[in-house]
Structure 1
Amino acid sequence: MLSVFVLCSCATGRNGELTWSSPQACIASYTTGGAILGATAGVLIALATGGGAKNTATKAGIGAAAGGAMAFAYAWGHCFAAFTKVKSAEDLPYSTVRKEIDYQPRQGTLTKIKELSVDPVAIAPGDKPSLNASYYVMTPEEKEVEITETIILKIFDPYKKKFVELGKSQEKVVVQPGKRKATSEIPIPPNAEEAKFFIAFRVDMDGKYDQKEVPLTITNDGAILAKAKDDLDRKGARVARVEAEHATPKPVELASAVGSKNLSSENVQQVEITAKVANLRVNPDASSKLVAKANRGEKFALQTTITVGGKKWCQVKLEDGASAWVSASLCKITE
């Protein structure tokens, strides 16, 4: 029997549950146990295969690293709700949104996430990226409704060969129908392991919901962090430019109108299929459910990439707005 004792900065709340002084204190209690259990598994494997002392120590070290890395992901999920909160506020009133999206009462209740981003998309341990979302909630009658806003932390588990939900933070609020903006700081613990996560945002209302997700990379790689910061700066500049153009309307000349077609695709990378036929799958795994097939020369918007078991995969956006994964060996990334 293995017993694990962990010193932690915690206290017992009124409901009997533990509360933590910081994300790293909460996570450390789980990752320590994961590393110890991983090391124990490594020792058992080495002994079962007849390894000597050196082999046993090596397997224990590998087991500890792997156990600690995955334990961090699941531990962060356990601690996620305690330190991540979503806040939202009205952005546009019901009457304005009704005209903007041509909403008709016969459509019933409507929930639609318009935009979602985590800024920046790559972050170092100890920093705080921000989640930013905008969404519509519309009802046939302009009256208050209860909605649930949820932030979900996900990761691809190579053992289960699928994306798994690690944890979530929910807020129930009563709001007026219309367009809303939601924000949240996501504190990354200083003891965070390098990995690629996905942050999903979901809005529920009256049995209907909409959900979108975006990648978040935790890394110490200076080049990746610098690129993420540059991309965020360019994004801010584009937003400022658009807001300025809306503030001071100008006559649009034909040349500028034509040129403006490509503004939305600025710096957007594409994935071009290079194999005769490529399988598009639900998860980045060759045994995952098939979504569709794509022929050589077909192009899709690139959403993100991930490496699983030494193999690189690209997440692409399909025509219907859904996402799918294609092996990087079957395609190439272009500007």
Structure 2
Amino acid sequence: MVRILSADAVREVLSLPELLPVVEAAFVKQGRRAVERPPRAHFPVGIDMDADSEVREDDAEETTGDTGDLPPERDTRPPLGTALTMPAYIHGRAMYATKLASVHAANPDRGLSPVNAQVVLNDAATGLPLSFLDGTVITNARTGCIGGLSVTHLSTGPVRLGVLGAGTQARWQARAIAAAADVESVRIYSPSESRETCAADLRDAGLDAEAVTSPKAAVSDATVVVTATTSTEPVFSAEWLAPGTLVIAIGAYTGEMQEVGPATFERAARVFADVPEPVAAVGDVRESGLSEADLLPLSDVFEGKIGRQSDDEILLVESVGSAVLDAAAAEYLYGKARANDVGKTVRV
């Protein structure tokens, strides 16, 4: 039997305080190289398709078996999105996971999320399918836990949280950090009015959250700064950071994206990365002039090997995420769903 967990079912069994140690343990396994994490495959999809149709008429004609030459000029349309496949296995675990994700930038114009994902769990001993889970909530939650764990191990004093960005991940970061530490206040900035909605949602979650009208207002009094944007240029000035600030950058994941400028890297005593090799390729790090060798694995922080050395140090955490975290989170959620009979089961 395969257990199907929709987004609502995942939310029903998800507990951020419970997920935090699950994600931390997965980081430690990854740092010890006790995982399998093949390179992420990605490829364009929706090529030569209209945005509002499933198959173009000329494509349908081409599948009828006609082997004639293609016309000399063909109306080639750009891909509508990108598909990604991210498998992972943690040594010693009873199951492995494959996340199937997609990014369609035009989806918000259709009232749809630009990023969608599913996670498939299989039995590690037999290969049989065990569960099909909504991967979007899983991705958001485990990414939020990266911020929460970073605050647990690297912040100092009361948490005054400044968040740049007001989308889904901004909310998850604030909630996960609040699950990991006492948060005195949250200040949200985004150039759009979404900052007001984000702040209202966080107030509904019990946080002292306020929308502010400039990035400086979000950063200046913060002890923890989170960047959760899709920006291609720095979203705050390094001179606004007070001594002792922890910066958690989770938005940039390509070479063209940049949230944190070189001056912040210069002020940082140390730069940590959840997965150093891919982090070294994002715009933040490339523009700073640092390389993979300059990045400290976040897993070493969780094992007590490195960390904060003084209250005045500015520290920076760069994150792009890892399928290992998806595998650990999905296994936790599947086990909890089975124990509480949540979701639907189907025979395959």
State the TM-score, normalizing by the size of structure 2: 0.22
Tell me which protein shows more helix as a share of its residues.
Answer: 2
Higher relative contact order (CA 8 A, sep 6+): 2
Structure with larger Rg:
1
TM-score (norm 1): 0.23
